Amino acid sequence: MPSAAQAPPTAVHEGHLAVGLGSDTGAFHGGASGTLYGLYGPGVPTGNLVEGMGLRTVSTKAQDGPQHPGADALEVVGPLADSTGGDVYVYLTDIHRGFPYRWPGSTPEEKLGLYKERIAEQVDQILRLPERYRHHIVLVPFNEPEGNMFGTGEWSYDGVGWLDDPAGYFAAWDDVHGFVRGRMPGARIAGPNTSVLYDQVKGFLTHTLAAGTLPDVVTWHELSHPESVRESVARYRAWERELFRGTDREGTRLPVNINEYAFNYHTSVPGQMIQWVSAIEECKVDADIAYWNIAGNLSDSAVQANRGNGQWWLLHCYASMSGHTVRVSPPFPGENYTLRGVATLDEPKRQARLLFGGSAGAARIAFTDVPREVFGNRVHAWVREIEWSGQLGDSAGPRLLTETDLEVGDDGAVAFGFGDGGVLPGLRESSAYEIVLSPAGGARGTQSPPVRWQASYEAEDAAHTGAGYSRNGPEGSPQDVSRFYTSGGHHVGGLRTGSDVVLDFTVDVPEDGTYGLSVFANSLNTCDRVAEQGPTNVFLRVDGAADGEQELYLPLGHKWAVWDHTDTEVRLTEGRHTLTLAARSLDGTRATRGDAVVDRLVLSLPEASAATRVYEGELAWLGGGARPVYDLPRQATASPATGSGAARLAKDQTATFWVHAPADREATVRVDTLGGAGARLSVNGHDVLRLGERTGAVAVSLSGGINKVTLTGGSSTTLVDRVTVTPSRGTLPARTYEARTAGLAGSATLTPLSLATGGTAITGIGGAPGNDSTAAFTVAADRTGLHALRVRYANPEQAEATHYNPDPLARHADITVNGGGARRVAFPHTFHRNNFWELTVAVRLEKGPNTITFRAEELPNFDGAGYASDTFPDVPLRSRHAPLIDSITVAPYAGPANTPAGLPSPTDPLMNTVGTTGFEPATP
């Protein structure tokens, strides 16, 4: 295993980031993990994605507001509070539609009076929440007041802009503040929520301090650049010190939430977002990523219901930090779009973590003042790259670049060289990077990087022939942050219905092998050419040969230049080759249908062991007082222990691992321990294994994307070395039932669709409240117990957008097993009726035949007395329908793997614990 290059930690120079582990800049805050309109409702996204990124704050619309479908405040507060204990900031203004908000009334007094009536409805509904959720609500009375209700436009309060004359706004703020507190004593209120931190906000603070209406949380937006966060927070804190001096608030620092930050060019891109994260963490404030695109995807972090892109993994690594932050000295302080980082030191855990990025090429990363009392004379280091996977592209997680032990220098430094003679590759501007340090410890084994070689090829550099070709761009850049990040700044079009375009990419590969190929591409889901088929099909050839030609279906998106990737494999020999994407098959019998743009190709040569992913115990999320240990027992050091140590779990202490699965499928989960027995292993909230001594393994039906795997200590203290996850098949026999096998009632019917596995899908399930449209499948189970129900579905429903946000709707199905209680499952938008995704639900089946039934209807408003369609008949806000169902697959949820130690029998109660409704209560 190569070690990282050492470099002296002297003065900061170009490409040199210095991390001072001897400093302490305050407790780790984690505030950058927030989102605007990022939660659609229960299950979209899953609790795994919410918890795994440490989501702290969500700004969203008032309950039952018409501004956008979904994201109703009182429907998302439960999932958020249960997952992370985070807070929901309620944009009360979003009880109205339009932007600027169209609030009714012909006089200022009437406008404010009618608005207060709507606020009263919201507050009364909040008071009906369980107390454990009420405490997680923060009310935002006015959003961007200077350009909306208190601007000078058509819907202004009195036609006078606050920024010129604040009297009207200040009076309304005081009125609403007192009104809310009178109805809900102790309510937290946030403001002023301006679009930037105007100088006039100082006047707002002066007034509210004197009037006794000071907000509990100070909020504004930073839709500019990362450095503006540092500048604005410093300016606000100076006002606070000045205004509070000599009052009973002297020395107080109010919480700050910058509740909209970053642009399209930044979101989803780890190398861009780390610059914002570092500024937000440095300022110790909360912040919510802006909502430029679709609701319910964690502000361009989530893919489908349960998958994360590169940005999600960046925020997951950020949420994995603990202890206190330390000083990070960048090469160009005060400048945007340069190398930046955030770092922590947790002395009790004996770990340091650094996240950095924002530049390309060579860099030196130096940890200085490494405390020997924490780390000893040698450190163990993991260095990983968090790659950009596209706005809508699933990511398997940070990619290991090296794992090694390093000496702490005489000057107390450890350094890493990237590019320009360093052992590690040069930085990429779209990537962020993670370095974790621990003591070298007693373990001996290390992981090998899963990718031996990788290269990227821009579509605009490919040779091309045929009519209709276009080179498009430039897309997003620091000069135009409103546009989307695109590799190389350009992309190409021409692969569309009726064209004969051919793109030829020249590639050089280092050796014979089977290479992974990712095509970064996009088709706009509402484009006329895409309407018929959905995903655009193209033809992939190697060196012009018809033999092995593949038909690929390129992904859909909600706007042009919103990137996802289609993945396949190609067999290549050492040397130069031509990879072709064409609009026609080589024999001319098949042609492209749709319209796609292509950004780039990525070729990778994986290691033979790359399919098995390893999760070290000492790097797990530890709970209940569990700690890593590095001084391993004597007998353990002679074992194949890996990493630097292990996680020590006493009774009821936990170690949680966030495990990626590329598909909804079976995998074998193996736990290697260094002693102890009786710990319980759960996957996505379901207990699947009780550990014996040393090793236990179990086959589990994983959900595609992020799986929460937790070990809970038993009566005997357990040392957890690692968890490994390997794809497997056949251990958990799966049965698939096509749409045509279901019994249909009411308006449910079979509809031909070309990409459905059986050629048809079920449409028309659902309708008005009380409808009788259902689909019922009869499925077989070999034994009684918990099973994975994998639903292959499509959801094309989309509302007409109010402005720049596409407004797709999530659909839901109420699923019953054998006539028992219903389980409501949400299905996010798939961008087309012919574009199918999978979603796994845990169900309890009885041995023999079982009936699984799907139904749906429009759901009522929060008060249960009305429906959105009654109040807003022309604005689809809640779907009436279940998704289109292509097929369902049923497999045992878990079962014995091919390892004898510690395995439960098929009747082990851990593998069959269920509720009385046929559904497990604990789900992602």
The pLDDT-based confidence of 906 (bands split at 50, 70, 90) is: very low
What 3-state DSSP class applies to 221? Answer: strand
In this predicted structure, what is the pLDDT of residue 904? 37
626 CB contacts (<8 Å, ≥6 apart)? 647, 648, 649, 650, 653, 654, 655, 713
In this predicted structure, what is the pLDDT of residue 865? 86
In this predicted structure, what is the pLDDT of residue 692? 81
Report d(CA 792, CA 742) in Å as an integer. 14
In this predicted structure, what is the pLDDT of residue 444? 79
Average pLDDT over residues 738-763: 98
Tokens for 838, please give them. 């999978």
Residue 63: name the closest of 148, 150, 127 by CA: 127
Tell me which of 376-385, 396-405, 532-541, 634-643 is least confident.
634-643
- Decide if 326 contacts 343 (C-beta within 8 A): yes
In this predicted structure, what is the pLDDT of residue 5? 33
- Decide if 209 contacts 247 (C-beta within 8 A): yes
> Angle formed by the axes of helices 167-183 and 200-211, to 10°?
40
The pLDDT-based confidence of 905 (bands split at 50, 70, 90) is: very low
Question: pLDDT tens, 198-217?
Answer: 999 999 999 999 999 999 99
Residue 628: cis peptide before it, omega within 30 degrees of 0: no
Residue 297: name the closest of 36, 663, 31, 684 by CA: 36
Q: Give the DSSP H/E element, type plus range, for residue 203.
A: helix 200-211
Q: Which residue reads 């290549």 in tokens? A: 572
Tell me which of 450-454, 761-765, 872-876 is least confident.
872-876
In this predicted structure, what is the pLDDT of residue 634? 56
Quickly count: other Cβ atoms within 10 Å of residue 456's Cβ.
Answer: 16
In this predicted structure, what is the pLDDT of residue 695? 73
Given a cut of 70, is residue 6 above it in pLDDT? no
In this predicted structure, what is the pLDDT of residue 915? 32
Given a cut of 90, is residue 194 above it in pLDDT? yes
Given a cut of 80, is residue 798 above it in pLDDT? yes
**The model's pTM:** 0.95
Average pLDDT over residues 41-49: 98
Question: pLDDT tens, 314-331?
Answer: 999 999 999 999 999 999
In this predicted structure, what is the pLDDT of residue 771? 96
Average pLDDT over residues 564-585: 98
Average pLDDT over residues 742-771: 97
In this predicted structure, what is the pLDDT of residue 420? 86
Average pLDDT over residues 234-261: 97
Give me the half-sphere count of Cα atoms (radius 13 Å) on the Cβ side of residue 414: 28
Given a cut of 80, is residue 400 above it in pLDDT? yes
The pLDDT-based confidence of 442 (bands split at 50, 70, 90) is: confident
In this predicted structure, what is the pLDDT of residue 14? 62
Report d(CA 919, CA 780) in Å as an integer. 17
Residue 555: name the closest of 545, 544, 546, 567 by CA: 567
Percent of the chain clearing pLDDT 90 (strictly above): 89
In this predicted structure, what is the pLDDT of residue 533? 98
Report d(CA 40, CA 51) in Å as an integer. 15
Q: Give the DSSP H/E element, type plus range, for residue 48.
A: helix 47-52
In this predicted structure, what is the pLDDT of residue 15? 84
Report d(CA 797, CA 835) in Å as an integer. 12
Question: pLDDT tens, 708-729?
Answer: 999 999 989 999 999 999 999 9
* Average pLDDT score over the chain: 93
The residue among 1 and 637 whose pLDDT is bigger is 637
